[in-house]
Structure 1
């Protein structure tokens, strides 16, 4: 099910006397209804499109804490009052929401894929707002439609591999095994890299699966400020192997002090400044194709702390990606 964009969560302060210099995101964002078609983005424009994926069904199936379905609304509200520091060719759009109705996750993922592909083929840069990490498989379904002849990399900031078996049913813990199998069926390589992994949060079978699939991963203890130079070098080597990269950020990769509003709170986890610097590096590489923020659960957030963190990541990506 799809719901067109509204201004419901794009509200905030208006500094009337400051004119254009006082502009905020909620004043600049334009609304789209993808059910009525989509105009081509202007050739000289850098068009960013926020697309919500209101699903917590995958989290429920994965025995997690429900509430992530409210993530897109919380992210929009957290972005609404951002000061507008984007250059003249940048346009911000809200492309509405894909809804998971009646527990039908698979249908919602298919719908998400179609909407992502639609945005990309019309010249928009998708920024997908979650929603549980089942967002990743739906997002991929769209990306594969436009990268048939290109080498796609997947960069996941996450405490978990999310390579669980989906023999019984798919969930928020299975998307990257689903992607690996889909690529294998097409005789394409699975170039998957995880940053922020927690050993205690992944069973031995998941490490075995990761090794069999030749997944590259870096433990959270090694994603630290003093290693940013080395991490960038490793990212560069990875990016050289792919034509384009899909980035997904699971907010449970961060320490619980920064991100309490997730299904699986991380007692340890990453610091935002390190992730921001790495995201900046990827955004400036010229290879970023699409990005999503996953696992925001407003039901367990504190002072909207996690929503504000997710929004800050999106702000940084937009600021840096606009330059490419």
Structure 2
């Protein structure tokens, strides 16, 4: 395939066989296309799904590398019709291009592959929304860097749903899952004032990180504060502020933003977090905004899951975002 750098990508392990001539009760697994032997007609696709099975750069022990395949396997449980909105997702054309190739030991090489994959997507089908299944949160920095390399004239903002700042010192941690937002700020790719982090946990963030966030003018809100104001109001407010400041809004969802009851399979699962219905509402609202042009879902460790609670919540999060995209 001359127009897409498939040496950087590997086909997903989980590739669903399509049911032919199906018009009712369509499952997500029947709807999403996968890359075959022939090059797709990229012009028809609204959304491109990319898996990044990386967890070596996680600060805590994690098998988040298994999440892309587990999410794909769970597609069979979900239909494309959303009763809440009386809306069918099949109006969107979506393709799964597989996974970014991982180096067995070299994290920096893998990070470069991630950046190059985003560059390729923006050059090959820039009209299509990248929807990335992680992997740990370190991938976000590389995806945004790839976007910026192609769209150098754009100002990029971040809407981050997370229980952590992810502003740890890069001189100590390097390009890990605790540093992606700081990496982007230090590289001058994103300004602190263009970051909106919602869902922070009261007991899982060091004061030094708050000091840095304040210094860089990062916008942030704890989950307790967000719940008092109402998640709908908080998301709308963040989007309205970003809309006036940036050209592109990148949505990153760290699944540890969920309360441990709703997300037991996150490496940093804790009580006091977001409820699943609040997360679904937040990403659906984000999906409706035309400046939200990319999304990732990160930090889900399937081996820690209970009854696929977290994996199914992640798929529901993905689909809720796409409902929002349909409502644009």
- TM-score range (shorter-chain normalised) is 0.7 to 0.9
Question: 1:156 maps to what in 2?
Answer: 160
Find the partner of 1:100 among 96, 99, 102.
102
Q: Is the contact made by 2:266 and 2:301 (CA closer than 8 Å) also made in structure 1?
A: yes
Give me the whole-angstrom Cα distance separating, in 1, the residues matched to 2:11 and 2:31. 14
Give me the whole-angstrom Cα distance separating, in 2, the residues matched to 1:155 and 1:129. 17
For structure 2, the 5+ residue unaligned runs are 1-6, 82-87
Give me the whole-angstrom Cα distance separating, in 2, the residues matched to 1:139 and 1:13. 30
For structure 1, the 5+ residue unaligned runs are none
Question: 1:321 maps to what in 2?
Answer: 325
Query: CA offset at residue 101 of structure 1?
Result: 2.2
Query: CA offset at residue 130 of structure 1?
Result: 0.8
Q: Is the contact made by 1:46 and 1:322 (CA closer than 8 Å) also made in structure 2?
A: no
Q: Is the contact made by 1:158 and 1:249 (CA closer than 8 Å) also made in structure 2?
A: yes
Give the 3 Å change call, closer, same or farther, for CA 229–318 of structure 1 in structure 2: closer
* TM score, norm. by length of structure 1: 0.88
Give me the whole-angstrom Cα distance separating, in 1, the residues matched to 2:212 and 2:200. 15
Query: CA offset at residue 286 of structure 1?
Result: 0.8
**SS of 1:258 mapped into structure 2:** coil
Q: After TM superposition, what 4+ stretches of structure 1 lie above 4 angstroms from structure 2? A: 10-14, 36-40
Give me the whole-angstrom Cα distance separating, in 2, the residues matched to 1:315 and 1:154. 20
Question: 2:211 maps to what in 1?
Answer: 208
Question: 2:147 maps to what in 1?
Answer: 143
**SS of 2:198 mapped into structure 1:** strand
**SS of 1:214 mapped into structure 2:** coil
Give the count of matched residue pairs: 311
Q: Is the contact made by 1:11 and 1:81 (CA closer than 8 Å) also made in structure 2?
A: no
Give the 3 Å change call, closer, same or farther, for CA 146–321 of structure 1 in structure 2: farther
* TM score, norm. by length of structure 2: 0.87
Give me the whole-angstrom Cα distance separating, in 2, the residues matched to 1:274 and 1:9. 29
Query: CA offset at residue 81 of structure 1?
Result: 3.7
Question: 1:245 maps to what in 2?
Answer: 249
Q: How do 1:179-258 and structure 2 match up within 5 A?
A: 179-183=184-188, 189-190=191-192, 191-224=194-227, 227-235=230-238, 236-258=240-262
Q: Is the contact made by 1:13 and 1:81 (CA closer than 8 Å) also made in structure 2?
A: no
Give me the whole-angstrom Cα distance separating, in 1, the residues matched to 2:38 and 2:248. 26
Give the 3 Å change call, closer, same or farther, for CA 9–228 of structure 1 in structure 2: same
Q: Is the contact made by 1:55 and 1:132 (CA closer than 8 Å) also made in structure 2?
A: yes
Give me the whole-angstrom Cα distance separating, in 1, the residues matched to 2:38 and 2:186. 32
Query: CA offset at residue 20 of structure 1?
Result: 1.4
**SS of 2:234 mapped into structure 1:** helix
Give the 3 Å change call, closer, same or farther, for CA 66–180 of structure 1 in structure 2: same
Query: CA offset at residue 110 of structure 1?
Result: 1.4
Question: 2:288 maps to what in 1?
Answer: 284
Give the 3 Å change call, closer, same or farther, for CA 71–120 of structure 1 in structure 2: same
Give me the whole-angstrom Cα distance separating, in 1, the residues matched to 2:260 and 2:232. 25
Determine if the alignment matches structure 1 residue 177 to structure 2 residue 182: yes
